[in-house]
Structure 1
Amino acid sequence: MELIEKIKSKKSHIGIIGLGYVGLPLVIEFCKAGFQVTGFDIDQEKVTLLSQGKSYIKHIDSSRITDAGSRFTPTTDFSMLSAMDCIIICVPTPLNKYREPDMSYVFNTTKTIARNLRKGQLIVLESTTYPGTTDEDMRPMLEESGLKAGEDFYLAFSPEREDPNNKGFSTRTIPKVVGGYTNNCLTVAQALYDSVVVKTVPVSSTRVAEATKLLENIYRSVNIAMVNELKMLFDRMGIDVWEVIEAAKTKPFGFQAFYPGPGLGGHCIPIDPFYLTWKAREYEFSTRFIELAGEINTNMPYYVVQKTVEALNEKGKSIKGAKILILGLSYKKDIDDTRESPSLKIMELLGEKDAHVDYNDPYIPVLPKMRKYSFNNSSVPLHAETLAKYDAVVIATEHADYDPDFILKNSKLIVDTRNLIKNHTNHSDKVKRA
């Protein structure tokens, strides 16, 4: 096939739509492999920074952008899609206020591609979604151009597997699942990813590829829900769930450690299960187990706030008017990603109880504009005198920058959701687990 030859010779022009936590690392890998890459995004500010060789994502060093040099062209001009040989879609797939899939980003992007579609192009969706999105929803939109998938253009799904700031795995070293609408579609898509990742995993259809990503994240969601529920139960029983997990980990088979926390964050785990539960209704199937896990994880910020209220009450302090400091806004340690972070929900709930809430996060100096929240906060400095002025400090993210001994020494009251303060039993009057 002509396109495969262009891919193998690095002469195919790659277009990546969405220059976020998924799209930008993919841009870097294709550029490193020697391809010409055009990155598309609707955010002019991002495009301007990237055009200047600057990264706006903290764990992606700007040197990786400058290394791409002239091979990378960021733009907001989507009419340039017609010049691309391979187009990869990496746009958000959030939930709406009813916790149903918001497919507007994917579908609007698909319609834009359809207006610029030409023969011989490869279109790949990477955004996590429900089975059937690629061949049942996107394909008819693309075929409104008059071109047929599998005949005039190639269509595939390959789920992203990004784990921001993971030191052990990168975009290149994580195996890539690929499913095509037809066998030819799969062959072309596999050739594309074979050029930048160490291993591709071909599957029989786009629907299998879509379901694979959901299984990966639902697996984590239900296991995290289990330990979150055990955390709440063991707390009533006077048992330290963290000690239990450490003991259970010594079993060399049949057990994998998952850890409790203040709720789920990131784009995948809090959201993806609901994509499948929504799609399951079409088949008159109730995904009770998955929905229960989602309910438990969604309620964890409420549990943290309740534990904070109780801890303050023990000190004779009302939550109303209390000064609370949240440590860590990102959804996981040592990154600047606030997507679906439970810290934001905790801040909102505490504010609704008329507490005065501030935050510290070394990776997030100023809270960015978000779809669901409209805070006007900046990170406060983490000095001894700063900690001392708060009635309670809630540890929501265990950044490596946070010194547990320093926090313990200078805080009046600590609500620890991440087991940062290991020797808390010696300070049970000051440190409360949540």
Structure 2
Amino acid sequence: MRHVGADLVEKNIVDSQIRVVVVGQGYVGLPLAQGMARAGLSVTGLDLNQDTVSLLNAGSSHIDDLSDSDVREMLDLGYQASDDVSVVSSADVVVICVPTPLGEAGEPDLRAVEGAARSVAKHLSPGCLIILESTTYPGTTDELLLPIFQAEGHRIDEDFYLAFSPERIDPGNATYGLTNTPKVVGGVTPASTEKSVTFYSRFVERVVQTRGSREAETAKLLENTYRHINIALVNEMAKFCKELDIDIWDVINAAATKPFGFQAFYPGPGVGGHCIPIDPNYLSYEVQRKLGHPFRFVQLAQEINNSMPQYIVSRAQDLLNEHKLPLNGSRVLLLGVTYKANISDQRESPATDIADRLAARGCVVSYHDPYVDEWSTESLSLTTVADPVTAAADNDLVILLQAHRGYDLARITSSAKVLFDTRGVTSGADAVRL
């Protein structure tokens, strides 16, 4: 027998009456709320950070991908932010987009997910569809979340529906956003999958249905593990190509001309952001926990990618030695300290490790980044230099860590005594590339 709430939420998901609460208004939740608001849905952004809520309701954005005018547009469309969990009681759909970091021992930290689920369970409206978008290990949705809702007396497929849909936000990507990036969805039951597909189809061009929530959870981890391992491959190749006097960038460009069977990945000073350094560990954790053996590809990739900051410092020492300068006491300018070009996000940026290692070896470290006015590491607290061209001339070594589009690399290279390019964007006889 169908529950009356199920009929109501199904009707609302199809028509314009749908009311959505997005739990977490960060890099994932806020763009998601924007897409829903633009599609005509009634959206409330739930966040426990009162400062974030105040900023949003005042029309100010705190993330790169949305401007203040974007937030003001959302408010005009009826969006509102709240720190009151009781807003869930009037929602037809609740989407959970809270952080899932790693704990001190490298294990998944799902306290935010569990806390959000318990709060939602206490205020659930009849027939509500709950979707988890936070990245996690396979089995979280049906092993952790489902029992939380059932413990409150809610019956799956009658009182509520539950699914997982991995976020695929790529900060700074001007080509692919929420609406034109296919949305993967898997429910803990077929009915939950069906309702989730109907929901996302309101504002996403293509929805991809998986067999269940575990397949959807694992798909996300496969995507980022694939990138993690292939980045490690080219990072390792970059090291031995340097020893063999082979230009790794030329090698990759040549290989990329093959129209099938190859996708170009590029070396760099290390991996950063919330996804690549973290997500593969969720998969590795679950393999070890459930099957009792390690995911060796992930472990090796982690080892290689984590070694890159030390490798950069070693190369910096060699370059200074070639100019009869010691690492200790040399002035080193870092260009670009974010984890990705053309955004201000510094999460897990390898620049932090590189700066601390240089400082520990006695270097006088400075930095420039047009997106980061002030920057702190474990050992440093710095303010960006005013002009990268002038600063390049004042330092013994310049290390390009992130090739922001605003950099005039020709002028910077000409001004610098030595420029070490870790992104392969410079050229010419004087270019010193990774």
Distance 1:291 1:377, change over 3 A: same
Give 1:374 deviation, angstroms: 7.7
Per-residue Cα deviation, 1:110-166 (whole angstroms, up to 9, x for no partner): 222222223211111111111001100111122221212333111100000111121
Is it true that 1:367 corresponds to 2:372 in the alignment?
Answer: no
Separation of aligned partners in 2, 1:374 and 1:159: 36
1:419 maps to 424
The correspondence for 2:305, drawn from 297, 304, 308, is 297
2:96 maps to 89
2:409 maps to 404
2:400 maps to 395
1:67 maps to 73
SS of the residue aligned with 1:156?
A: strand
Per-residue Cα deviation, 1:76-112 (whole angstroms, up to 9, x for no partner): 2223222222111111111123222122221222222
SS of the residue aligned with 2:411?
A: helix
More displaced, 112-121 or 408-417?
Answer: 112-121
Per-residue Cα deviation, 1:288-330 (whole angstroms, up to 9, x for no partner): 1221112111111111111112212222222223222211111
1:432 maps to 432
The correspondence for 2:361, drawn from 353, 360, 363, is 353
Distance 1:262 1:284, change over 3 A: same
Per-residue Cα deviation, 1:407-432 (whole angstroms, up to 9, x for no partner): 11111221211012122xx11xxx43
Any residues of structure 2 matched to 1:5-404 within 5 Å, and which?
5-70=11-76, 71-281=78-288, 282-367=290-375, 376-404=381-409
Give 1:207 deviation, angstroms: 0.1
2:4 maps to none
TM-score w.r.t. length of structure 1? 0.94
The answer to whether the 8 A contact 1:302-1:346 is kept is: yes
Per-residue Cα deviation, 1:325-383 (whole angstroms, up to 9, x for no partner): 21111111111111211112212222222322222111122338xxx858532222224
SS of the residue aligned with 2:307?
A: helix
Distance 1:389 1:250, change over 3 A: same
Separation of aligned partners in 2, 1:305 and 1:43: 38
Distance 1:388 1:53, change over 3 A: same
The answer to whether the 8 A contact 1:158-1:176 is kept is: yes
What amino acid does structure 2 have at the position aligned with 1:95?
Answer: L
In structure 1, stretches of 5+ residues that fail to align are none
More displaced, 172-181 or 247-256?
Answer: 247-256
Superposed CA RMSD in Å reads 1.7
Separation of aligned partners in 2, 1:394 and 1:42: 39
SS of the residue aligned with 1:15?
A: strand
Separation of aligned partners in 1, 2:295 and 2:283: 8
Give 1:44 deviation, angstroms: 2.5
SS of the residue aligned with 1:358?
A: strand
The answer to whether the 8 A contact 1:165-1:335 is kept is: yes
Distance 1:326 1:192, change over 3 A: same
The answer to whether the 8 A contact 1:117-1:145 is kept is: no
TM-score w.r.t. length of structure 2? 0.94
SS of the residue aligned with 1:367?
A: strand
Distance 1:66 1:405, change over 3 A: same
Distance 1:56 1:347, change over 3 A: same
Give 1:396 deviation, angstroms: 0.6
SS of the residue aligned with 2:236?
A: helix
Give 1:7 deviation, angstroms: 1.6
Per-residue Cα deviation, 1:365-405 (whole angstroms, up to 9, x for no partner): 2338xxx8585322222243222222211111111111111
What amino acid does structure 1 have at the position aligned with 2:413?
Answer: L
SS of the residue aligned with 1:69?
A: helix
Separation of aligned partners in 1, 2:47 and 2:214: 27
The answer to whether the 8 A contact 2:343-2:371 is kept is: yes
What amino acid does structure 1 have at the position aligned with 2:65?
Answer: H
Distance 1:314 1:378, change over 3 A: same
The answer to whether the 8 A contact 1:331-1:397 is kept is: yes
Percent identity between matched residues is: 41
SS of the residue aligned with 2:382?
A: coil
More displaced, 4-13 or 318-327?
Answer: 318-327
Distance 1:378 1:83, change over 3 A: farther
